[in-house]
Amino acid sequence: MDDLSRIDRRGLLQVLGLGAGALVLGIGPARAQPGVAQSGKGQFGAILGIGADGSVMIVCPASEMGQGTQEALARIIAEELDCDWEKVTIRQPWADRAFINPAAKRQLTANSMTVTGYFPSLRKLGAAARASLVEAGADRLGVPSADLTTAKGQVRHAASGRALGYGELAEAAAALPLRADPPLKPASAFALIGAKKPRKDLAVKVTGAAEYGIDVHEEGMLVAALALAPHRHAEVTASGIDEARAMPGVKTVSRVNGGYAVIADGYWRAQKAAAKLTVTASASPIAGLDDAMVAATIAKAFDAVPAEPFPNIDVLSFPVRGPPSDPAAVAAALTAAPRRLEAEYAVPYLAHAALEPLCCSARFKDGELLVRGPLQAPEASRDLAAAIAGLPVDKVRVEVTFIGGGFGRKWSTDFVEVAVQAALAAPGQIVKTIWTREQDFAQDEFRPAFVARYKAGIGTDGKLLAMSSRIAGQSINRFHKRKGPPGMGDPSAAAMLIYAAYDFPNKLIEYHPADLSIPVGFWRSVTLSQNAFFAESMIDEVARAVKADPLAYRRAMLAKHPRALAVLDKVAEMSGWTGKRAKGKGRGVALSYADNAWCAQVAEVSLSGKALTIDRITCAFDCGLAIDPPSVEAQMSGGIVFGLQAALWGEVHFADGAVSSANFSDYRMAMLADVPRIDVALLQGSERPGSVGESGVPPIAPALVNAIADAGGPRIRRLPIANSLDIKEARA
C-alpha cells in the first residue's frame, strides 16, 4: 500500500480505490507528516473515505493480531456514520503520528487499550462525517438539516420521500468544515455496536488471502536466514563465512545484531548456508547462566537490593493514582494482629510462543527504506529503522501486515532492527528475514521470573488487618532502559501485588530488582500475569485459614465495587459454587480487573492422588460496552487457554549461558484434549468499553491452584503445576 501521508488528495483517492468526488476524513489533518506530532486530540490522518459509489474505506489505525481490532474500530466509525456496513472495506495501517492512540499518545497495539483508547475519537469521526453529509444533503434538497435523517448510507427526507446516497454527496461534504462536537447516537440506537455479525476479516483468513508477515512476497525477493549467539548483545565471531558465501543462491553474509544474516534467493538455500556458520560468543551478558543462578540471584535480591516502594495504586482510574504506603504502620499492624499467615510464591520465565515466528521484510533503495511486517509498534519501528539507516523519518515507510500472534512480543523492535540491517546489506531488493522456531525461543523477550513473599495479619473475626508483599525479579523497564514512574518500583513487577479494590487497611508493596541480563519484555496481561496468581492465591489461603468460603470472603471486601460483586455472583451461579463437592472434586475462584473491566473465573477439577483433571472453567466478564460480543467471548476463551498453558506447563530453562528450551518439544503447549469446557458470560456494567484482550489470562492460574487445594490437594505456590501434579486430559 502506498504511503498515504506523502501523497496529495487525488493520489489518496486512487490508493483507496474511491475515485473522484470522494469524501476523505480524519479527526485532524488528512495529510499528517510522518514524525511530526499533531496538535489537539485524535489526530488520525486519512482514516475514513467515502467513494462516489457509496463505498466506505476505513484504514484501521491499530494492528490486527486476531483480537478483532479491525472489526471493532471500523464498527465504531460505521455506527455513527450510519453507512451501509456491507459496503465497508478495511485496510491495514502504516506508521504515522496521525494514527496515535489518544490514550497512549503513541501508535501501538498493546496493553488492552486499543478500543478503549480510540473509542471516543472514532465515534466523533463517524458522527462528524455524518453531519457533513447531512449538511450537504440539506443544501442539495433545499430543506433544513433538522428535517433529514440518515440510514444505510443515505440521507433521507421523510416528508417528500426523497433520498440521496452518501456517494452522491461525498464531494460536496468534503468541502465543508468538520464539526468539532457533532451529536452522537444514544447507546439505545446502536445497531452495529453490540451486534453479533461475522467479522470482516473472516473470509480472507479462511481462504488464505490474508497477508501475514511471513506471507510478504515480491518477485525477485531475497530471504535472510540467521545464525545467532545466545544473547543479542553478545560479542561474537563466526567461522564458516566463506563456505556459506559459496553456497548456491547466496548473495551475501552480513553481520546483524546478535550474529549473522545469510541472504539468498530462497529460504531453504539461505537456511542451508546459515547452517555452515558456527557463531561463538567471546563475551555474553548471560555467560555461564543456568537455572540455579537465576534462582539464587532472585533470592539474594530480597536482602541485597534495597526495597523500592509501590503505592496502593487504583488501576481503575486513569491516570492511575493512589496513596503511598506506610511501612511502619503496616509492620505495627502485622505485629499486633492476633493471627499471622506467611507464604512464598514463585513463577518462572515464560516465552511468548506465538505460532507465527519472528519475521520482517525490508528494502533499501534510492535513499528510501521500506519495512513491512507483523508489528505491534509501527511508529517505534519506523523511528528505529530511520536511526539504523541514517535516514530522516520521512524517507522511511513502515507498513503493517496481519500478525499471527503477538502477545506483546511483536511490540518489541529487535527483530525489525535485524531485518533492516539485512536489507542494508543487500540494497535494491526486498529482503525477508525469517527466524527459526529455535531462534524465536532463544532470542525471546521473556516474561520475567518472580518470587513474592506475603505476610497477612488477621483479626479474631477473620478479617484482614494488614498485608505486606515483597517481590523480587527482573525489571522490564530497566532492561529496555525506560524511565518508570518516579518514586516507585517498576509497575510491571509490583503493581497489584495486593488488590486496591479489596477493602482492608494497612497494605504494603515493595519491589527488589534482581540483577539479571536475560532479555525480558511485556507478555500478555503483563503485571497481572504473575501478580494475580500471587494476590489471589494469598487471599484464598487467608479465607481457608479462617474457614471462610473463599468467594464470600472476597465479596465482603468488595462492597464499594458493585461490578466486582456482579461478576462474582454470576460465576458462582454458572459454576454451581454452593453445591456440594464429591471427594476429590474442587472448585477455585479468582478475580482480576483492569481499565473498566472485571473478570471472575471458577476452575473445577478432579484430583486422584497426583492425577489432576480439569473438568470445567466458567468465566463472568464485564468489559462495559462490548463492541463485538462474539470477539469478546473468543478473546476471553483464548486468554483462558493462553493462561492455562502457562499455569500447567509454561517454564523456560537456562543452562550454560543460553536458553535450553529450544522448541515446542521443550515448551509444552496446550493441545485440544487439554482444554476443558469453557463457559463465558458477558455482563455490561458501563456504557463505555473496557479492556478485553488480556483480561482472560490472569485469573486462571490462581483459580486452578485454589481448586486443587479445595479438592484436598497440595497448596501449589510455585508454577507450573505440572511440576507438582500429573496433568490428565481435560473432561470432554
Tell whether omega for the bond before 319 is within 30 degrees of 0, i.e. cis.
Answer: yes
Which whole number is the average pLDDT over 244-264? 97
Contact criterion met (CB below 8 Å) for 110 and 63: no
All structural domains of the chain: 4-193 (3.30.365.10), 213-285+358-434 (3.30.365.10), 305-349+446-727 (3.30.365.10)
Contact criterion met (CB below 8 Å) for 416 and 377: no
Kindly indicate the confidence band of residue 694, based on its pLDDT and cuts at 50, 70 and 90. very high
Contact criterion met (CB below 8 Å) for 179 and 126: no
Bridge partner list, 86 = none
pLDDT at 33 over 80: no
Q: CA-to-CA distance for 337 and 457, rounded, in angstroms?
A: 5
Instruction: Identify the pLDDT of residue 324.
Output: 79
Which whole number is the average pLDDT over 16-24? 42
DSSP string of 661-695, one letter each residue:
--STTTSPPPPGGG--EEEEEEE---SSB---TTT
Q: CA-to-CA distance for 625 and 598, rounded, in angstroms?
A: 12
**DSSP-derived secondary structure letter, 350:** B
- Which among 498, 451, 491, 446 is positioned nearest to 471, based on CA atoms? 451
SS3 state of residue 597:
strand
- Read off the C-alpha cell for 478: 530497566
**Residue with cell string 528450551:** 661
Which whole number is the average pLDDT over 43-58? 77
pLDDT at 70 over 50: yes
Instruction: Identify the pLDDT of residue 15.
Output: 35
Q: CA-to-CA distance for 717 and 707, rounded, in angstroms?
A: 13
pLDDT at 317 over 90: no
Kindly indicate the confidence band of residue 52, based on its pLDDT and cuts at 50, 70 and 90. confident
Q: CA-to-CA distance for 621 and 248, rounded, in angstroms?
A: 56
Instruction: Identify the pLDDT of residue 581.
Output: 87
- The DSSP element (H or E) to which 419 belongs, if any, is helix 414-425
pLDDT tens profile 321-357: 677 789 999 999 999 999 999 999 999 999 999 999 9
Which whole number is the average pLDDT over 40-63? 74
Which whole number is the average pLDDT over 448-463? 98
Contact criterion met (CB below 8 Å) for 340 and 458: yes
Mean pLDDT, the chain, as a whole number?
A: 92
- Read off the C-alpha cell for 614: 480439569
- Read off the C-alpha cell for 26: 480524519
Q: CA-to-CA distance for 572 and 582, rounded, in angstroms?
A: 17
Kindly indicate the confidence band of residue 21, based on its pLDDT and cuts at 50, 70 and 90. very low
Bridge partner list, 56 = 50, 88
Contact criterion met (CB below 8 Å) for 610 and 573: no
Which whole number is the average pLDDT over 479-507? 92
Burial of 507 (0-12, 13-18, 19+ CB in 10 A): buried
Bridge partner list, 228 = 259
- Read off the C-alpha cell for 110: 498493546
Provide the phi-psi class of 217: left if phi over 0, else alpha when psi is between -120 and 50, else beta.
Answer: beta
- Read off the C-alpha cell for 187: 447507546
Which whole number is the average pLDDT over 444-456? 98
pLDDT at 652 over 70: yes
Q: CA-to-CA distance for 224 and 423, rounded, in angstroms?
A: 9
Which whole number is the average pLDDT over 398-420? 97
pTM of the predicted model as reported, rounded to 2 decimal places: 0.93
Beta strands 368-373 and 359-365 are: antiparallel
pLDDT tens profile 517-573: 999 999 999 999 999 999 999 999 999 999 999 999 999 999 999 999 999 999 999
pLDDT at 177 over 80: yes
pLDDT at 315 over 70: no
Kindly indicate the confidence band of residue 731, based on its pLDDT and cuts at 50, 70 and 90. confident
No. of helices (H) and no. of strands (E), the chain:
19, 28
